[in-house]
Amino acid sequence: MHDIHDQRLLIVDFGSQYTQLIARRVRECGVYCEIYSYDIDAAFLREFAPQGVILSGGPETVTLGETPRLAQAILNLGVPVLGICYGMQTLAEQLGGRVQESAKREFGHAKVTAEQPSALIGSLGATQISSADVWMSHGDKVIEVPPGFVVTASTSSAPIAAMEDSDRHIYGVQFHPEVTHTANGNALLAVFALEICGCRGDWTAENIIEDAIANVREQVGDDEVVLGLSGGVDSSVVAALLARAIGEQLTCVFVDNGLLRLDERNEVEMAFGKDSGIGNALPLKIKTVDATQEFYQKLAGLEDPEDKRKAIGNTFIDVFEREAKALPAVKWLAQGTIYPDVIESAASKHGNAHVIKSHHNVGGLPERMALGLVEPLRELFKDEVRQIGLVLGLPKSLVFRHPFPGPGLGVRILGEVKPQYADVLRRADAIFIEELRHADLYDAVSQAFAVYLPVKSVGVVGDARRYEHVIALRAVETIDFMTARSARLPYDFIELVANRIINEIAEVSRVVYDVSSKPPATIEWE
Ligand code: XMP
């Protein structure tokens, strides 16, 4: 098989919130791509040698001189270029057309019709007499196309909604083909990637797995590898992948920090254990460590969220290091780092991402333990990780599990974490999740959980007065977890969950539903 990376697109980021979405959609067409900032290094660009380039949208205006522009080196590559929104505007401005600033934004659905025969616009289903639905989000617009270009589509408010120079293979669309509101937007991206750029489309789950297995084998040889298995999607998929790649050379360490959800330890042991179907298929060695006491000792008296996160993160490192050192001759540490993590840390080095909360992972461990890193998911988006998890035979319930933060219930118990609070929270959370699954709502929300509020409120159950703590329910809908809105769960459903929690858990007097959006709130409460 040829290398599945030898054909690839470059996604140039001008700062749009949709840049990662463009990359995900291109990958869905079966074409590998990577995201880099617009000021990409020319030498790196030559080495990267993409088959085509897509320019993202962005928040700036090309009508000002100081705003980002496309590097000439990219145009010099001579490969097809597709500019989306700001990307189209900067192409227009740089190649000799004109862009007009507009105070009024056009935001939302629009109908495009074709002005000229065009493979891209045709793929949307738009012709000169029938229109196609697209999604717009822009202020400025192109008012004159550069020499050599023709206008290929228009909307009622944007006479130049798309343009192209098919001789030079340079294209621009004012709308956003990457968002699902643009009907057939994926068809447009597929035409660009497969037909115009000529890519093969062999970036598939099966090929990704085969490629990852070959790479891991080559990287670690006969060495022993250790993996921190958390029960989350990423580490589970790494475990399944490595089990295929290197089998007995892998040992998974599962740390019970006392901050897990109800039955979580059991579920992980069942999902991967010897007695499960998967356990038989994957010869996984799992070492479970009960470190509950150690974590609670370190958390005693801590109230500040960042202090709690640090304590949990550091204790995890201590425990994990101790356990890994007790294994014979481990040389490699496997991690479930995924592509958005890589982009995020590149962005923070670049200076355009700020840390709102310190997210906990095993940062620092490889250096401390002098271990090499094995990161087989480093190139993958979450949906790709899920896809290969399914192909590797992991259960759907695990693969489509809502995310769970590294510090676990530690950041869902406000203030000091106490074992009795965790016990109550675990039960309340389990009721919420059970009812969501029961009502077929679990997959409709991106993340749902209960939060423990150690404030006292009065309730009455039967004839007795109850003076106990409060549980908050949180459910959000989001695409990227950077922004989110609270899920509009049916009122009857929320009421049902609240009743069950109050009736079944004597230590809870009241249940509330969190309707905050992110921003300004965050998804977790700490
Ligand atoms: P926030 O609360 O920042 O959460 O809006 C965004 C997403 O990140 C998850 N999260 C974490 N994940 N370690 C993690 O691995 C953490 O410390 C952490 N904090 C938040 C959160 O559950 C949500 O999915």
pLDDT digits (tens, 9 = 90+) for 156-196: 999 999 999 999 999 999 999 999 999 999 999 999 999 99
pLDDT, one tens digit per residue, over 190-246 is 999 999 999 999 999 999 999 999 999 999 999 999 999 998 999 999 999 999 999
Residue 407 lies in a domain: no
Residue 142 lies in a domain: yes
Final residue in a domain of this structure, among 196, 224, 245: 196
* CA dihedral for 354, 521, 488, 58, sign (positive or negative): negative
Residue 95: per-residue pLDDT: 98
Higher pLDDT, 462 or 493: 493
The CA distances from residue 275 to 251, 389, 449, in Å, are 17, 20, 30
Q: Are 172 and 162 in contact (CB under 8 A)?
A: yes
What are the structure tokens assigned to 97, written together?
Answer: 């057309």
Nearest to 385 by CA among 340, 348, 343, 344: 340
Residues 6+ apart with CB under 8 A from 346: none
Q: ω before 519 within 30° of 0 (cis)? A: yes
Q: What percent of the chain has pLDDT over 90?
A: 83
170-173 and 162-165 strand pairing:
antiparallel
pLDDT at 317 over 80: yes
Residue 276 lies in a domain: yes
Amino acid identity, position 233 = V
Final residue in a domain of this structure, among 162, 196, 230: 196
Note whether 306 and 240 are same-domain residues: yes
Residue 425 lies in a domain: yes
Q: What is the mean pLDDT of residues 66-94?
A: 96
81-84 and 170-173 strand pairing:
parallel
In angstroms, rounded to a whole number, what is the distance separating the alpha carbons of residues 422 and 409? 7
Exposed/middle/buried for residue 306 (C-beta within 10 Å: 0-12, 13-18, 19+): exposed
Q: How many domains does the chain have?
A: 3
pLDDT at 356 over 60: no
Residue 414 lies in a domain: no
Q: Are 445 and 436 in contact (CB under 8 A)?
A: yes
In angstroms, rounded to a whole number, what is the distance separating the alpha carbons of residues 259 and 402? 16
pLDDT at 153 over 90: yes
Q: What is the mean pLDDT of the chain?
A: 92
Evaluate: CB of 48 within 6 angstroms of ligand 1.
no
Angle between helical axes of 264-272 and 233-246 (0-180°, round to 10): 20
In angstroms, rounded to a whole number, what is the distance separating the alpha carbons of residues 165 and 167? 6
In angstroms, rounded to a whole number, what is the distance separating the alpha carbons of residues 373 and 334? 6
What are the structure tokens assigned to 122, written together?
Answer: 């045709």
Strand partners, 84: 173
- Provide the CATH number for the domain around residue 332: 3.40.50.620
396 CA to centre of ligand 1 in angstroms:
22
Note whether 156 and 299 are same-domain residues: no
Q: What is the mean pLDDT of residues 413-429?
A: 98
150-154 and 141-144 strand pairing:
unpaired
Note whether 344 and 492 are same-domain residues: no
Residue 279: per-residue pLDDT: 46
Q: Are 309 and 208 in contact (CB under 8 A)?
A: no
Nearest to 487 by CA among 521, 453, 447: 447
Residue 301 zone, left/alpha/beta (φ > 0; ψ -120 to 50; rest): left
Q: What is the mean pLDDT of residues 430-457?
A: 98
In angstroms, rounded to a whole number, what is the distance separating the alpha carbons of residues 153 and 158? 9
Among 2-6, 280-284, 346-350, 429-433, the least confident range: 280-284
Q: Which of 312, 354, 481, 483 to probe ligand 1 with, by most ligand atoms within 8 A of CB? A: 481
Residue 78: per-residue pLDDT: 96
- Provide the CATH number for the domain around residue 452: 3.30.300.10
Note whether 190 and 214 are same-domain residues: no
What are the structure tokens assigned to 484, written together?
Answer: 């989110």
pLDDT at 348 over 80: no
Q: What percent of the chain has pLDDT over 70?
A: 94
Confidence grade of residue 504 (pLDDT, cut at 50, 70, 90): very high
3-class secondary structure, 312: helix
- Under DSSP, the state recorded for 518 is B
- Provide the CATH number for the domain around residue 96: 3.40.50.880
Angle at 487 between CA 481 and CA 491, to 5 degrees: 165
Residue 523 lies in a domain: no
In angstroms, rounded to a whole number, what is the distance separating the alpha carbons of residues 451 and 415? 11
Note whether 233 and 380 are same-domain residues: yes
Nearest to 118 by CA among 87, 161, 89: 161
Note whether 463 and 342 are same-domain residues: no
Q: What is the mean pLDDT of residues 362-379?
A: 82
Active site residue 178: yes
Evaluate: CB of 522 within 6 angstroms of ligand 1.
yes
The CA distances from residue 243 to 14, 176, 216, 240, 357, in Å, are 39, 40, 11, 5, 33
Note whether 245 and 390 are same-domain residues: yes
Evaluate: CB of 466 within 6 angstroms of ligand 1.
no
Note whether 97 and 188 are same-domain residues: yes
85, 197, 199, 252: the active-site residue = 85
What are the structure tokens assigned to 512, written together?
Answer: 């509330």
381 CA to centre of ligand 1 in angstroms:
17
The CA distances from residue 245 to 39, 204, 220, 286, 405, in Å, are 38, 18, 10, 16, 28
359 CA to centre of ligand 1 in angstroms:
7
Active site residue 176: yes
| Residues present in the chain in total | 526
Note whether 18 and 118 are same-domain residues: yes
Final residue in a domain of this structure, among 196, 226, 257: 196
Residue 355: per-residue pLDDT: 40
What is the span of the domain harbouring residue 475?
419-513
Note whether 21 and 152 are same-domain residues: yes
Residue 469 lies in a domain: yes
pLDDT at 267 over 90: no
Evaluate: CB of 524 within 6 angstroms of ligand 1.
yes
pLDDT at 499 over 50: yes
Residue 266: per-residue pLDDT: 87
Q: Which of 227-236, 272-281, 337-346, 489-498 tops mean pLDDT?
A: 489-498
Confidence grade of residue 345 (pLDDT, cut at 50, 70, 90): confident
Residue 349: per-residue pLDDT: 63
Note whether 425 and 451 are same-domain residues: yes
pLDDT at 359 over 70: no
In angstroms, rounded to a whole number, what is the distance separating the alpha carbons of residues 418 and 423? 9
Residue 526 lies in a domain: no
pLDDT, one tens digit per residue, over 111-144 is 999 999 999 999 999 999 999 999 999 999 999 9
